[in-house]
Amino acid sequence: MEFPHVDLPVDLIAWTDVTEDILNIYKQSCRLKACIFALCTEGSITVSINLMDIEIKQGDFIILLPGTIIQFHGQREKVRICFAGFSEHCLNGINIIQSTVGSYSKIIESPVIPLNDTVASYFKEYFALLARISTGSYMPKTRMAQNVLNTLLDGINDLYSNRTELPSRVKSRKEELCREFVQLLIENYTTERRARFYAQRLGISLQHLSTTIKQVTGKNVLDIIAHVVIIDIKAKLKSTDMTIQEIAYSLNFPSASFFGKYFKRHMGMSPQEYRNS
């Protein structure tokens, strides 16, 4: 199943008082191109994140990475949410995989975590500041938005690393296998893009891995591997002075030519064209 893709119109946008009227726009499943951080400040609402239903309550913090499938189901009471979102254009210069290397698989596993009142108030005040900046006459430039995003990602890493125990939910073996695959991928994607490698490391057949990942995420194994690799490439092209060949070798491609064909197959343009865009 292919979900409609949703992006944000500007590099950075933040709101402090999102209600169910706005959330109802997302009652149909969609896949995010953007990266969104949100805090529930009042009430509760049921949300499907990557096809799993989660009840979000007051004080819950939500991290929606690009590629997340999101759908709002409804609420039993009035709900208010504040958030900050970053567009695909803003994300192009950021390597989210590397920025969250210690917590990426934890975010995938538990994209919603409860905050204590003090930490929640920090995020609420920070989002309020970003809302004043992003909706006022002074619109933040891309570099500023990327700096804000990096600051938030640092805070997210601290949130997850300081939690000795994430909210428990009985996970199926398929979900656990998917989590193990994602963690392995984050650790090895710079040298391994073969699905068979990950199946062997997990001690299962390639068919078992492919079927399980498809059932849990709706995407195939090679698409997920490519997604992670392309995030890294795009960040290097936009935010470093590395040559195309240096980027190719940093990700263990046999040649710059092979690297260029791989990138064009997934992005529809050459690495140099993307860098110049």
Residue 54 in this model has a pLDDT that exceeds 50: yes
pLDDT score for 201? 94
- My answer on whether 180 and 156 are in the same domain is no
94 and 231 in a common domain: no
Q: What is the pLDDT of residue 170?
A: 54
Closest CA to 15 of 84, 88, 86: 84
Tell me what percent of the residues of the chain surpass a pLDDT of 90: 37
Per the CB < 8 A criterion, the answer to whether 95 and 236 are in contact is yes
pLDDT band at 1 (very low <50, low <70, confident <90, very high): very low
Q: What is the DSSP string of 165-191?
A: SPPP----HHHHHHHHHHHHHHHHTTT
What pLDDT does 30 receive?
78
- CATH, residue 32: 2.60.120.280
Instruction: For residue 255, report the phi and psi dihedrals to the nearest 5 degrees.
Output: -160, 160
pLDDT tens, position by position, 131-174:
988 877 677 788 889 999 999 998 888 888 876 554 445 567 88
Is-contact 48 181, C-beta < 8 A?
A: no
Give yes or no: residues 131 and 220 share one domain.
no
Torsion angle, alpha carbons of 186, 190, 196, 202, to 10: -30
pLDDT confidence of residue 208: 94
Residue 168: inside a domain, yes or no? no
Residue 167 inside a domain? The answer is no
Q: What domain range includes position 155?
A: 5-161
Q: Are residues 12 and 141 in the same domain?
A: yes
Q: What pTM does this model have? A: 0.70
Give the C-alpha separation, 275 to 277, whole Å.
6
Q: How far apart, in whole angstroms, are the C-alpha atoms of residue 145 and residue 139?
A: 10
**What is the domain-level CATH number for residue 213?**
1.10.10.60
Decide if 166 is inside a domain: no
Show which of 137, 161, 185 is a domain's final residue: 161
Residues 142 and 43 in one domain: yes
Residues 27 and 155 in one domain: yes
Half-sphere exposure for 31 (CA within 13 Å, toward CB) = 9
Q: Based on the domain organization, do 156 and 213 belong to the same domain? A: no
Does position 2 have pLDDT exceeding 70, yes or no?
no
Please indicate, yes or no, if residue 270 is contained in any of the structural domains.
yes
Dump pLDDT digits (tens) for 198-233.
999 999 999 999 999 888 777 889 988 998 888 888
